[in-house]
Amino acid sequence: MIKLGIILDKLYFDHDNGMGHPESQERLFAIVDMLKATGLLEELIRIQPRDAEKDEITLVHEPKYFDLIQSTRGKIRVFLDPDTSTCPVSFQAAVRAVGGMLAAIDGVLKGEVDIAFPLVRPPGHHAERDRAMGFCLFNNVAVGAAYAVKTYGIKRILIVDWDLHHGNGTQNMFYDSSKILYFSTHQYPYYPGTGSINEIGIEKGLGHTVNVPLHPGMGDKDYIKIFFEILKPVIEQYKPELILVSAGFDTYFADPLGGMKITPQGFAQMTRFLKEMTQIHCDGKLILILEGGYNLEGLWESTKAVIEELLEKNKTNYGDLNAETKADPMIEKVKRAQSDFWRF
């Protein structure tokens, strides 16, 4: 039996972006409704989140930026950019969201659970070292990676970001590091405008940023072929000790903010792939963290498919991995861009 830990907290629901904002509490309500309706909630292990400390968050964020977010505490509404604002409890929610990621890392690396999936708000992968962006306050996955390096001495962490949008913040925080390899599939050109094929890292981080920018309309076959053709050889050579996933569900075929065509089966395929990679290369140590996803039915169906795959209730078929796809030209371009660093 796979021990799958989830993290939920009332503060994740209390964080409020305001009337009509796509990143709303309803996103988590949809997932919790799915967990209860399917009975999956009873098969999961609840991990209690904690509040991340300032010195943990400032492993990747500037101390002055932490103080800025803290200064919003108790204020009715503070706009940090046109899309990103805080309510009176947003700072506490953001600290608890990072703490959810840290509790997940502790749970997996101490062997209390095999896999963890913090279902947190606010999301994180757009948050820069000193700037809030794209609904994100603190960069949950980046703090988690830095914490795993510092606390557990891990030397190689892979972050896979399958969100529709490029995780500019995560990329930039580790752009010169070989301890974190950042791999992203994303709609391009699109918000936030970063993630071109030629963004490959600098200094010690050369080759440790792998971007796969995609035109709208890509579906299940495209994504899983990208994973097998590009990500699999990189994993086999990099040999990560831990895999973290920025799990955004806005590539769902009916998401209001995107133009991709991923079905719940496609999310299950990507999950199966990453689960198999962790079993081969890092003793099964896998942590997913919730990022985007703004179609409530899509969140319901897609998180169900992911969790059932993680629990081994299903084993989704990959289909014909040699079939021609719309992604083939981009796959070849990425291979050329990364050819100095990886063998394909």
Dihedral-angle region of residue 312 (phi above 0 means left; psi in -120 to 50 means alpha; beta otherwise)? left
- CA distances, 100 to each of 17, 181, 291 (Å): 20, 22, 13
Helix axes 140-152, 90-109, angle to 10 degrees: 40
Neighbours of 248 (CB within 10 A): 24
Which stretches does DSSP call E strand in the chain?
4-7, 45-46, 78-81, 84-86, 115-118, 157-161, 180-187, 209-214, 242-247, 286-290
Alpha-carbon Rg for the chain, nearest whole angstrom, is: 18
> What is d(CA 341, CA 297) in angstroms, rounded to the nearest whole number?
40
Catalytic residue among 126, 165, 186, 281: 126
Where do we find the tokens 């510092």? Answer: 150
> What is d(CA 131, CA 138) in angstroms, rounded to the nearest whole number?
9
Residue type, 74: G
Q: What values do phi and psi take at 84, rounded to 5?
A: -125, 120
Instruction: Report DSSP state, residue 79.
Output: E
Sheet-wide strand order for 209-214: 45-46, 4-7, 115-118, 286-290, 242-247, 157-161, 180-187, 209-214
Would strands 209-214 and 242-247 be described as parallel, antiparallel, or unpaired? unpaired
> What is d(CA 145, CA 178) in angstroms, rounded to the nearest whole number?
12
Residue 61 among the catalytic residues: no
> What is d(CA 60, CA 54) in angstroms, rounded to the nearest whole number?
11
CB 306 within 8 A of CB 38: no
Say how far residue 113 (Cα) sits from the centre of its chain: 19
Catalytic annotation, residues: 126
